[in-house]
Amino acid sequence: MTVVITRDVPGRTRGFLASIMPEPAPGVYAAADLSKAVRERLWAVVADWHGATAQGSVVQGSVVMIWRDDKQPGGLGLATLGTPPRRLADLDGVLVSVW
């Protein structure tokens, strides 16, 4: 399962994501069987577009992608664009989000 959550991103980004994944709620995209190659390509495009929307030194909006990754804490991979950047950490068996 791969889930992408967007906030204040351009319509182009939302349209691109909607062409690959269903949008069950506004700004939330989910796909049950997205391959690693497709996920990485999707992220590369979104990251490139996100960097291109910077106004001065401030980047607008944010994008978070989570997916199953047995090598990461809690079995979840996490990638973020925008602010605040986050990462996942295992704190005595409890998965927490760290800024």
Return the CATH number at 88.
3.30.70.240
Please give the residue range of the domain that contains residue 12.
Answer: 2-98
Place of tokens 């992408």: 4
Residue 53 binned pLDDT confidence (cut-offs 50, 70, 90): low
DSSP 15: H
Mean pLDDT value of segment 38-42: 96
Which pLDDT score is estimated for 54?
A: 57
Alpha-carbon distance 36 to 47, whole Å? 16
Apex CA 11: angle with CA 8 and CA 13, to 5°? 85
Which pLDDT score is estimated for 73?
A: 74
Instruction: Please list the residues that pair with 6 across neighbouring strands.
Output: 63
Residue 74 binned pLDDT confidence (cut-offs 50, 70, 90): confident
CB count in 10 Å sphere of residue 13: 19
How many distinct structural domains can be found in the chain?
1
Does residue 42 have a pLDDT over 80?
Answer: yes
